[in-house]
Every structure is written in structure tokens, then in C-alpha cells.
Amino acid sequence: MTKKSFATLAVATALSTSGVWAADVNEDMMEVSVKNFGALPDGRKAQMYVVKGPDGSKLELTNLGAVIVSLEVPDNQGHLEDVVLGFDEPTPYLTDSPYFGAVVGRYANRIDKGQFSLNGKQYKLAINNEPNHLHGGNVGFDKLLWNGSVVDTEDGPGVRFSTISSDQDEGYPGELYVSVTYVFTADNQLIIDYLASASDDTVVNISQHSYFNLAGQGDGSILGHTLKINADFYTPVTKSLIPTGEILSVSGTPFDFNTSKSIGRDINKSHEQLSFGGGYDHNWVLRSSEFPGDLHTAAILKDPESGRTMEVVTDQPGLQFYSGNFLDGIVEGKGGIAYQYRGAVALETQHFPDSPNQPHFPRTSLKAGETFKSRTIYKFSTSD
């Protein structure tokens, strides 16, 4: 990856009269089209952006929450399946969604008791996950109708969503400009670039909250998936899932994924941290976190039956691994499928939870005039 700023990327905002835009990327055509996704309760309309690859792989995005609605990739026989959880229409993303496919912020993950101090001033945020603040508050980025456009980047054609969060929005200081750019390549890499800048000093932690089941969305438990996480340490939590401030070794615990193992192997073991999260719902300290800004492989997820593999590459210092412990079979998603307990996994690249209150955690403050940039890549492949 070159470290060009977003400002240097060529932007193609004009669509043809057919609503289809295409570009030649290494002689493989990636086609982007735009269509109506549906109306929100207040009458506003959400749009759907569809990126199709030459092998039939497909990414569907909506400007509501900058959500990944569906992602179809092949198995080892070439059969395509949608591997992310979501809904067939926009309204449930506002009412029933546990952040399916959404961009979450201003601050992804939890902030203790919804308060922090910055430059000697105390700020109080919305409490939406009693007693804490979670994923930006009551109306976080996941519930906003973003501005969307088709763009041309050095990695190929993509879709850029942007929004402005006003000063004191959900309690955060400073007006914040945010953009998220998705590029889906002919070799099934999903590249996500984040950019943010603020009018005043603030805190920022942005992540993508897709729920993955590599066997296919709604196709059973993910306990048989194997996972490798490149981390020697994790941040243990209290009963309310706020980091204690400790950074503990994973060695000899159920949290050691340095060697690939099935998610279900240790998930039900007797361990205080597993009881607090109802399974895995913790932040891993990625091995390359001492080199901020460098891309590194954070995790590798695999479904042994289909052979689908997803490698998570990021420049972020942390990874939240959530094993779908609060899915309960009540929420119905795409195709009327009820999403079952532990039926998907989230692998959220991030800074650490509650960092504004933990001075020894990596910095999440963003000064006025600075630019926050980050990249995460989900690389899909197959194996026997």
C-alpha cells in the first residue's frame, strides 16, 4: 500500500444514465451500479451500491450506516455464498440491528460510564449500553444516512461514503468530517479506508462491524470455524466489559489463538473472562501494535468445510473478536433467516476500548487540524 492521502485519489462522481460505472483493473472488469434500497420511516430513501467482479463475486453496500449488506465470495468448488449477516430492507438497520455490517463511531467499542477527560475538560456521552457508552451512542454512525459516491482509486473502482458529525453530537467535542471508502477487487480483497478530521480536539476510533459466517449467512454455528490471531496479549475486562487496564498474556488461556484452532474448542471452558463476555468479546493486542501505521496480518478465519478463508490485514493496534454471544434466533435477517446463537463472528480492527480513560493504551485523541487515516483489508481465498 502506498501512503497517498485521500486527496490524491482521482474521484469519479458522474454515473452514466444507466446507473452503471465500470473500470478496467488489471484487465478484469469491476462494475459498480447504484439502485434504490428502500425508504426509511421518515421518507428518506437509502441507496444500494453493488460492486460485481468477473467471477460473479459481489459486494452490496448501502449509504445507511455505510453498511455492508451482503458479500458473495466463492468456496473451493467455485460456489458463491453471502458470508455476512444483514437485512433485505433498510428499516431493520435502525430498529433491530446489533450493528450488522455497519461502520461504528465516533468511538467504536465501549467508554466507561460514558465519560472522559480531554485537555482538562470532562465530557459526558450518551449512555446506550448501561452503564457505558457503546459504538458512538444512541445515534452513532451506524444510523446515519451518509453521502455516497462512486470513486476511482489506485486500487480500483469503489464507493465512498462521507458524513459530518456536529460539535457535541452524542456528547463528543468538535465537528468531525468522516469518510469511508470501500474497494472490492477482482481477486476478492475488500479494502476499507477511513479518514477523519475535526474542527476541535476530540477522540476517534472507527471500525467495521460485519458479522461473518464463511459457510454462508445463517448457515449454522461458527464454532467449527478455525481462527488464528497474531497477538500475545489481550485486555481483560470487568463485568460491564470495560478494560481493567491490565494487558495480560494469552499464554495458557482460552485466549491464545497464536496457533489456529476451532472457535468452539475453548469457548465453554471455565474462565472468568469468558463468563463476563458470554464467550469471546475481547480486545487482542496485535503483535505489530508497536509499529503504528504499518499493515500487518491480524487474524485468519477459515471454514474447513467450504474452504473459504478470510485474512484480516490492518494498521490498527487492536482486534475485537466477538463470537456472536448475544445472537438469539429472534432477529430475522436476509431471506427470513433467524440468526442463531453464535451464528457469526465479528473481527473489528480498532484502537483499544476505553482508551480515552486509559493513558497507557494507544492514543485515540485527534487534534484539530490533524487527519486520522486507517486501512483494513479483508482478503478472501479458498483452500482444500
Please give the Cα distance from 281 to 185 (Å, whole number). Answer: 30
Sign, CA dihedral 211-345-317-137, equals positive
Please check whether residue 208 is in contact with residue 71, taking contact to mean a CB–CB distance below 8 angstroms.
Answer: no
Please check whether residue 85 is in contact with residue 78, taking contact to mean a CB–CB distance below 8 angstroms.
Answer: no
DSSP conformational letter for 142: G
- Residue 19, amino acid: G
3-state DSSP assignment of residue 295: coil
Please give the Cα distance from 291 to 296 (Å, whole number). Answer: 10
Query: Which one of the listed residues 209, 225, 282, 351 is annotated catalytic?
Result: 209
Q: Give counts: helices (H), strands (E), the chain.
A: 2, 28
Query: Which one of the listed residues 60, 170, 348, 351 is annotated catalytic?
Result: 348
Residue 93, CA distances (Å) to 50, 72, 126, 329, 353 in order:
18, 20, 20, 17, 24
Please check whether residue 382 is in contact with residue 74, taking contact to mean a CB–CB distance below 8 angstroms.
Answer: yes
Decide if 370 is catalytic: no
Task: State the cell numbers at 339.
Answer: 440468526
Decide if 209 is catalytic: yes
Strands 156-165 and 226-229: unpaired
Please give the Cα distance from 100 to 213 (Å, whole number). Answer: 12
Tell me the catalytic residues: 209, 348
